Structure 1
Amino acid sequence: MTELVGSLCWGAGIEAQTWDFGNAYSHAPEDIDNSRHIVIWGRNVARTNMHLLERLLAAKKRGATITVIDPLFGPTARIADRYVCVKPGMDAFLAMGIMKELLRLGLEDRVFIERHTVGFHDVEQLLQTISLKEIERYTGISRHMITELAQLYGDRPTATYLGLGMQRYANGGNTIRWIDALVAVSGNVGIPGGGANFGNLQVSECFDKAALTLPDRKTVSRTWTMMKQAEEILRADDPPIEMIIVTCGNPLAQVPNTNRMKKAFASVETVVVFEQFMTDTAAAADYVLPVAASFEEEDAYCSSMYHAYLNYGPKLIDPPGEAKPDLWIWTELAKRLGFGDAFAYTRDQFLAMALRPLERYGITLERLKTEHRVLLPVDPVPWHDRRFHTPSGKYEFTSATARQKGKDGRLQMMYPAESEEANPLLAAKYPYRLLTIHPLRSNHSQHYPLIPALQAVRIEVAADVATEKGLIDGDQARVYNGRGSVEGTVKVLDGAHPGTINIDEGQWGAFGGPVNVLTSDLESDNGCGSTIYDCLVNIEKTMSKAN
């Protein structure tokens, strides 16, 4: 059996926080009421965290300040007191600059640093090797703004909400670690109203996943990262891949380097896809098994990065035609392979297994079905007891976990792989930075066939790119690099960082996508995440609006 590990979504950031804190935990949503300042760093709240947006508006009304740090000026920035337009992929350098000023101003929390952390001397040494002038050049942020942000972090409690995009670079894990370090140095770890809020693995830890996945039954397996699956499929020979089964995904739209993924899928004898729609991946399959949608089967749902509520989803209608729940398909397959006993449980029994650790808190399947929503027993202010899950039991600026894995463990000075700093020849050929943010009205690629307004590629360009290339709203253009090209309609962005282009991710091939024909399948610095945003491109006009 071949297992895919890592994550296209948030893997680099989760690993980074595991190195720093020992785990990736976030504060409860209502803890924002304790924050004096709120920093939204690379999180597109208006599109991806709407419940937080409502709380931001309430926080601003009561007097908290809101700062948005992002290469793109969007709806969240419009409600902010301060918008900081950082160069894509250079967030770590901004965190370094803020920390340098924090130390210069004497605003660091020395008690926390001396009692509850290890490795700060390594950070101080590295900070001495870079000047604020260099940081201004790398980030596009003025010294005045860096000083202002240092004062903000020193005026705690300051809550930081981190997004996923900035860890989708070759330096992505290091970026999250620098922001974590800034939060720690400023004394905003383990206090009400603070936190480095990225993922919240407290939620998933509440369940007995082993009872469902039976890891002890596994005898022989190999692992590939999600990012490198195409490359590994193509070169596998001991044994070669003879069958691919795809469930709960659309890899020919969502996995980076689409053209290589297509080649990998075409090389395999049998491809089976469980789907509700004829996606790009389903269209490439030998067999498509129709599956039930979420309202057509009973289940329980939880959040991975914001709130800690467990929600009950009853079955509302029967699935159409021959569509079956995924669980039914896997159960029937297990029967035919001779280990059906491992799946010989009702849906209620499976759910009860997962909830077993919660019984001591009075949370049972019966209660969930009755109340429909139950708050899980998680810590609303992680690390308040200063007991970190690291090998030292402290916050680790220099990570022992990383060193156990053969990494250096110290914070680094790193650039995106595709940048003028790391690869000037590539940047000369492809001078613009491509972002591929989450679409407004689709959960990744899921809803494109349902919403006609989504079924065309929109190429959003910074004002300087439009000027350089003679582009205006409504022009047709082609974005390209050495991996592929995408054509679409131009929209000039106000307030975007110079040299930036965005094409929303998830677009199907039938509608002009996917944008992942352009993106790289490299792994992040810690090997656990994708580098989808680490992507240089060029652009050319193909047709004027007037034509």
Structure 2
Amino acid sequence: MREYTNICPYDCPDACGLVVTVDNNKVIKVRGHKEHAFTRGTLCPKMVHYEQIIHSPKRLTTPLRRVGKKGIGIDQFERISWDDALHTIVNNFKHTIDTYGSESILRYSYAGTMGAVNSPAGDYFFRRIGATNQDRGICSPAKQAAFRSVYGDTIAIKPQEAQHSDLIILWSINAIATDLHFLHDVNVAKQRGATVWVIDTHKTYTYDQATHHVYVKPGSDGALALGLMHIIHRDDLADIDFIQRYVQGYEELVRDVLPTFTPDYVSSICGVPAEVIEALAHAYAKAKAPFIRLGSGVSRYGNGSMSCRCINALPAVVGAWQHLGGGLLSSASSSQYLNKSFMQQPQVVTPAKRLMPMILLGDLLTNPKALLEHGLEDTSGGVPVHSLYVFSSNPAITAPNQNFVRQGLMRDDLFTVVHERFFTDTCAYADIILPATSSVESDDIFNSYGHYTIGANYQAIPPVGESRSNWQVISELARRMRLDDPFFKMTELELIEQMVRSSSKLSQEEQDRILQGDLVEVELPENYKLDFKTPSGKIEILNPQENIPLITYREPYGDGEPFWLIVGNDIRILDSSFCEMEFDDLELMKLRMNPDDARLYNINDGDVVEIYNIRGTVRIKVYFDAMVQRGTLVTLGVWWQSQSSDDAVGINALTASRPTDAGWGSTFYDVQVNIRKI
């Protein structure tokens, strides 16, 4: 029996430290690693029995070739050898390039693994063969763009500093489901007397963690932030000394924007009573070290980036950054401590190719001119996609505008490869399926976007069945495509060492410890919180490089339907990951509705209804919940087709491929629907 130190590979800010116990080449137990500086030995419910996922009888263990119809199931496939599978893929790539041009090949991948080797494994390969590039931002690029707009390349605050705060705002983050270990720091602060406010669109699992709750109308968070700043200025609560030294644009904000955002006006937008806005503004401004933990939900509207810019300005107005425990955490900056650019091989210049934002997958698969129609450059002139290679993602269920995505995947002239651990919805549309390893079956290295601990994952068990990692497959495809770059001949261990040893931000000691398998919390520079890495050297509430330089309020898209649809987080799954598990609840996809709204539509508790808009229709069962705001509907989780209410479509049949106002991110939450009883 042997124990291995590992990092959880999933798309979560916590990136938990794991201790993996192996006996006879089998994982028999997974527990939290007590020496991890942020997760401290605890795991979320999803990972407590990770060994059941690793050794699940549902794992794909051999390559498969489709011999039946698309979109049906695994019974439409036959087993083949790896040699046959790779030969088929390479022949298709060569034929596609010769017949249609290289940009008719598209790679689609995201964060099925967050490893610095296996997440971007295909980036350089597909650039090297001239394929259509993929802008790999779908989750929260609008939030990231907002932080850069206000703070540039400033290092983000350590989450543990929240322990020293006397007022914490959990803004648009369901921490129980998406940032569980941050609540340890919140609870330490509470024990020291801190108050906790939750700002969200609906009651979440995190409700009981807070002393105060503020429910806003979807997409109105930016107006609330401006309303708070209006009161802070009106009542002389702003830190003028800090502002004069560290903030650019406050004078313009006070003159041109804030006068409009009175408590009553903001209340009319947000639905928050004016007296609550007043109370929150005073509590925040009078706190010694207020801390905001900003989630990604607020960024997934058409106004998402501007809303986040407004929220990012709050700690600047009250001078929170100068105090221990004060500030705002949007995403941690730990990725800069590894030389991740090595995986992109930036020194190799290749011809510019078209770039597809992830949200436009369905558009491009069904309309070759989609990029041009969205005002984007298309160096191919609008060549159709004929070859699609999918890994670390399940776009048939997770991409927006699901009906377009599935329509595109059903095309007879589209050759699709899916590299996966389980038979997902996307696998049903594949021509070739390749079995993928789990995180304990290959080598990789992980940082986090929620804290500053870095750790290497060294292989703990042999691959299950014939599974191979992303990098192993990509490097073999490169060899068969006769790409002789030395990069493709490197092993995962060599790539890990290169990213660590060539980092300019890690000390020699930190490098050595990471490579020997320790969980290392990197040391941040002294006084980093006040070292604002922007062109002005200040916090830029007014950023002259932006299309809209000064922060303000913008409305979300909306759809002209009576209900906002909120797709929250189900604690049992992460996006569509973990859906392969067995669940006791036979009704996984449910709709929560305010009973007063339901009565207007003659809907009873437990009725099956259809929610619909111009993009699609979803059948689902309604459950009454008086805590749901009127005019909103709430459902949790992005479930596989087989787990959906009518075994037909998922919730993303209702979402749009409209971009956020910056970053070309998804607007998954900017969706309105109507409802009818059936």
> When the two structures are superposed, what TM-score results if normalisation uses the length of structure 1?
0.91
Q: How does 1:221-300 map to 2 (within 5 A)?
A: 221-233=353-365, 234-236=367-369, 238=381, 239-267=383-411, 269-300=414-445
Paired residue secondary structure (2:609): strand
Equivalences, count: 525
1:175 Cα shift?
Answer: 0.4
- Checking the alignment, whether the CA contact within 8 Å between 1:4 and 1:229 is kept in structure 2 is no
Report the CA distance between 1:366 and its aligned residue.
Answer: 5.1
> Which one of 593, 596, 599 corresponds to residue 461 of structure 1?
593
Are 1:504 and 1:515, in contact at CA under 8 Å, matched by a contact in 2? Answer: no
Q: Give the match for residue 463 of structure 2.
A: 319
2:285 to 132, 139, 154: 154
CA distance in 2, matches of 1:473, 1:190: 51
CA distance in 1, matches of 2:445, 2:509: 13
Find the aligned partners of 1:4 and 1:27 in 2 and give their Cα distance: 30
Q: Distance in 1 between matches of 2:534 and 2:154?
A: 11
1:518 aligns with 2:663: no
Q: Which residue of 2 aligns with 1:328?
A: 472
- Give distance in 1, aligned partners of 2:522 and 2:620: 45
- Return the match for 1:4 from 134, 147, 150: 134
In 2 relative to 1, CA 470–46 (structure 1 residues): closer, same or farther, beyond 3 Å? farther
Cα distance, 1:475 vs structure 2: 2.5
Secondary structure of 2:347 counterpart: helix
Q: Percent identity?
A: 28
Return the alpha-carbon distance in structure 2 between the equivalents of residues 23 and 475 of structure 1: 51
Q: Which runs of 5+ in 1 are unaligned?
A: 419-425, 543-547
Contact 1:169–1:533 (8 Å) recurs in 2: yes
Q: CA deviation at 1:343?
A: 1.3
- Distance between the aligned counterparts of 1:113 and 1:161, measured in 2? 22
Name the CA distance, whole Å, in 2 between partners of 1:465 and 1:318.
Answer: 55
Deviation at 1:112, TM superposition (A): 1.8
Taking structure 2 as the reference length, what is the TM-score of the superposition?
0.74
Matches within 5 A, 1:26-425: 26-124=156-254, 125-155=256-286, 156-200=288-332, 202-220=333-351, 221-233=353-365, 234-236=367-369, 238=381, 239-267=383-411, 269-304=414-449, 306-340=450-484, 341-356=486-501, 357=503, 361-363=507-509, 367-368=513-514, 370-379=516-525, 382-384=528-530, 387-402=531-546, 407-418=547-558
Q: Counterparts of 1:506 and 1:179 in 2: how far apart (Å)? A: 27
Structure 1 162/380 Cα, relative in aligned 2: closer, same or farther at 3 Å? Answer: farther
Distance change in 2, residues 1:348/1:154 (3 Å): same
Aligned residue type for 1:411: I
What SS does the corresponding residue of 2:418 show, helix, strand or coil?
A: strand
Hey, what's the Cα distance between the residues in 2 that align with 1:486 and 1:24? 43
Q: Does 1:436 align with 2:436?
A: no
Instruction: Provide, for residues 420-456 of structure 1, a one-character-per-residue CA deviation record: whole Å limited to 9, x for no partner.
Output: xxxxxx53xx200011122211121011121334663
1:263 Cα offset (Å)? 2.4
The alignment yields a C-alpha RMSD, in angstroms, of 2.0
Cα distance in 1, alignment partners of residues 469 and 431 from structure 2: 20
Distance of aligned partners of 1:359 and 1:187 in 2 relative to their CA distance in 1, 3 Å threshold: closer
Give yes or no for contact 1:355–1:364 (8 Å, CA) kept in 2. no
Where does structure 2 lack aligned partners over 5 or more consecutive residues? Answer: 1-130, 370-379
Q: CA deviation at 1:70?
A: 1.0
Contact 1:28 1:380 in 2 (8 A): no
Q: Distance in 1 between matches of 2:580 and 2:132?
A: 31
> In the TM superposition, what is the alpha-carbon distance from 1:471 to its structure 2 partner?
3.7
Q: Which has the higher helix share?
A: 1
Distance 1:218 1:500 in 2: 49
Aligned position for 2:109: none
